[in-house]
Amino acid sequence: MSRVLLIEDDEVDRRNVIRMLSLALPEWSIRSSTCLLDAERELSEFEFDVILCDLSLPDSIGISSLVRVLHAASGVPIIVLTGLESDKTSMDALMEGAQDYLNKNQITPELIRRSIQYSVQRNHLSQRNAELMASLVKSEEALRIQNRRLRKACETAQQFVDNVSHEFRTPLTVIKEYASIMAEGMVGPVPDKQLRLLRTIDDRASDLNNMVDDMLDISKLESGLLTACREKCSVESIIENVSSALQQKAAIREIELEISVADDLPDVFCDAGKATRTLINLGVNALKFASHHVEVKVQFQTPHDVAFTVIDDGPGIPDEQKELIFQRFSQLQSNVDNAGKGFGLGLNIVSELVAINLGRLSVDSQDGSGSEFTFTLPTCDHLEVAKRFIDHSSRNANCPQTVALLKSTIPIDQDAIGDDVRKFFLCTLRQNDLLLQIDRRSYLILAAVDQIQLSEMGFRIEEQRARLNRNRLSSPLPELPLENLGMYHLDQKNEVLIDKVAEQITDREYSYV
C-alpha cells in the first residue's frame, strides 16, 4: 500500500489536509507528525512514497525544515506546504530539492492528487537520471581505463614492429654487402653457378627489406605519424631510382623487362620516396607472376596526370579476386612458388601510398591474359593539387572533416637560409597536411585537422624548430608564424575553400616547389 507522511503542527490545517488526501487518494495510508523529531522517527520506522511538509514547525522553521526532511528521507519526493504567498520561498524550496509547493489555503482534492502524482513521477525520473548519470560516469571511467590500456597496447605493438624492423636492417645490410662482395669476385673467382646463387641471395634479401619497409609504413600509417614530403620532382628521377633494382630482379627470374618513358613529360608533385615504393612494389609483383615479359611505361593520361603503368603476361586476376588484392594481408591465390610470397602487404601499401600522393590506382586484368596496374601522379599545378588534397581529405574516414588554411611568411629572404624552411616544413608536417610554396618567402598549408589538432600542430612546429636550432651549425631557422586564414568544413563541393586557395596562389610563380 502507498503511504504518505504529513508533517504539520497546526491542528486545523492538519485535519484539512488529511481530509483532502483521503478524498484524493482513498487507497493510500496517511500518517502524520506535528514536529520534525516525530517525523524523523516515522521515517526511520516506515517507508513513504511522498511527504507533505509545512515549513513552520515547533522545532524548525523555513528552508532549514526542508533540508532536515531531505536528509532524513533521501530519495522520497517532498511537497512543501505553506500558508504564505511568497514566490521567493517557493523558488528557494524548489531549488533546495522540493518537488512541488502548495498553498494550504488553496488545496483541493484534485490539486493535491495531481501534485502528488506529478511529484512522484518527477522524483522517479530524477532518480533514474541520477542512476543513468552515475552509470555513465562509471562507464566513461571504465572506457578511459580501457582506452589507456588499448593505447598502451597499440604503442607497444607499434614499438615492437619498429624495433623488429630496425633490427632486421643490420643483418640484411650485411647479407647484401657480403653477397655483393663475393659476386664481384673481390674475395676470389666465382663460378657462374655460384654467382647465380649469390644474386638470388641478394634478391631475396631485397625482398625481405621491402617487407620491412611495408611493416614500418603500416605501423606509421596506423599511428598517424607517416609524413608526406610532397614536392616537385621529375619522372626521370623516379624511374632512375627503380630501374636498377627491377632490372636485377628480372635478370634473376629470367624475365624480359622493358621500361619506356614518353618524351617531354612535365614534373610531377608527389613524395618521390612513396612514388618509388609504389613502382617497386608493383614491379616486384609483376615479376613474381609474369611468364616471360614485364613492361613499365610512363605517359600522359590527362593534362593534370602522369600515368605509371606496369604490365605483365602472367595468369591474370579472376574477377572475384580483384576486390581482395588491395586488402591488407590478402594474397592472390595462384601457383606461384611460396618463396616469392610476402605478408600480403605490398598491394595494400601501394593503394595507401597512391592515395597519399593524391593519385589514382586502377587494375585491368582478365583471368588467363595478364594484368595491367596503373597509378597516376598529379602534375605541378598548385590549384589542381589543392583540389586533389581537399577531395582526398573529404573521402578519408580517418581524417577530420575540417581543413585549416594557414599561411606562413618568413621574416627574411629565402636566399639567406637556402631551401631549409621548405625542407623543415616537409619533414614536420604529416600525411594529412599539404604544403605549397607560393613565392620566395611565403608558404600555404592545408591541414586536415580539428581545432585541438591545429593547436597541437602549432606547438609541434615550434618545438621541432627550437630542437633543430639547438643542433644547427649554420644560421638558425627564423620564427615561422602561422596565419590562420580560416577553418573550413568539408562537403561535396568545397567551393569556398577552393576559391580561397585560388585567391592565395593566383598569378604566383610555381617554380619554387
Residues present in the chain in total: 513
CATH classification at residue 432: 3.30.70.270
Q: Is 200 part of a structural domain of the chain?
A: no
Q: State the Cα torsion 61-62-66-68 to the nearest 10°.
A: -40
Q: Is 211 part of a structural domain of the chain?
A: no
CATH classification at residue 285: 3.30.565.10
> Beta-carbon neighbour count of residue 375 at 10 Å?
25
Residue 389 pLDDT > 90: yes
Least confident of 125-134, 146-155, 233-242, 271-280: 146-155
CATH classification at residue 76: 3.40.50.2300
- Work out whether the CA dihedral 351, 354, 360, 365 comes out positive or negative: negative
Over range 384-413, report the average pLDDT: 89
Residue by residue, DSSP assigns 300-339 as: EEETTEEEEEEEE-S----GGGTTTTTSTT----SS--GG
Same domain, 335 and 400: no
Question: Residue 439 and residue 447: Cα distance in Å, rounded?
Answer: 19
Say what the pLDDT of residue 133 is. 86
Q: Is 193 part of a structural domain of the chain?
A: no
Closest CA to 228 of 343, 392, 387, 346: 392
Same domain, 102 and 16: yes
Say what the pLDDT of residue 266 is. 93
Residues spanned by the domain of 240: 233-378
* Cut 0.75: pTM above it: no
Residue 167 pLDDT > 80: no
Same domain, 364 and 390: no
Over range 499-504, report the average pLDDT: 92
Residue 461 pLDDT > 60: yes
Bridge partners of residue 6, in order along the sequence: 32, 52
Same domain, 458 and 325: no
Instruction: Tell me the pLDDT band of 510, cut-offs 50, 70 and 90.
Output: very low
Q: Is 307 part of a structural domain of the chain?
A: yes
Same domain, 407 and 445: yes
Say what the pLDDT of residue 375 is. 96
Q: Is 156 part of a structural domain of the chain?
A: no
Residue 180 pLDDT > 60: yes
Q: Is 80 part of a structural domain of the chain?
A: yes
Q: Is 497 part of a structural domain of the chain?
A: yes
Same domain, 486 and 387: yes
Same domain, 374 and 421: no
Tally of structural domains, the chain: 3
Q: Are 487 and 500 in contact (CB under 8 A)?
A: no
Say what the pLDDT of residue 342 is. 42
Question: Residue 275 and residue 147: Cα distance in Å, rounded?
Answer: 35
Say what the pLDDT of residue 341 is. 46
Same domain, 245 and 347: yes
Question: Which residue, 107, 141, 166, sits at the end of a domain?
Answer: 107
When the pLDDT of each residue in the chain is averaged and rounded to a whole number, the result is: 84
Over range 474-496, report the average pLDDT: 87
- SS3 state of residue 358: coil
Same domain, 331 and 363: yes
Same domain, 243 and 370: yes
Tell me the CA end-to-end span of the chain in Å, nearest whole number.
Answer: 84
Task: For residue range 251-310, list pLDDT tens digits in order.
Answer: 888 899 999 999 989 999 999 999 998 999 899 889 988 999 999 999 998 889 999 999
Task: For residue range 185-211, list pLDDT tens digits in order.
Answer: 888 888 888 888 888 888 778 777 777
Same domain, 274 and 410: no
Over range 379-396, report the average pLDDT: 92
Residue 486 pLDDT > 90: yes
Question: Which residue, 378, 395, 410, sits at the end of a domain?
Answer: 378
In the DSSP assignment, the letter for residue 402 is E
% residues pLDDT > 90 (the chain): 37
Instruction: Tell me the pLDDT band of 414, cut-offs 50, 70 and 90.
Output: low
Residue 444 pLDDT > 90: yes
Task: For residue range 312-354, list pLDDT tens digits in order.
Answer: 999 988 877 777 777 755 555 554 554 444 434 568 788 889 9
Instruction: Tell me the pLDDT band of 512, cut-offs 50, 70 and 90.
Output: very low
Q: Is 293 part of a structural domain of the chain?
A: yes
Question: Which residue, 51, 82, 107, sits at the end of a domain?
Answer: 107
Same domain, 358 and 415: no
Residue 239 pLDDT > 90: yes
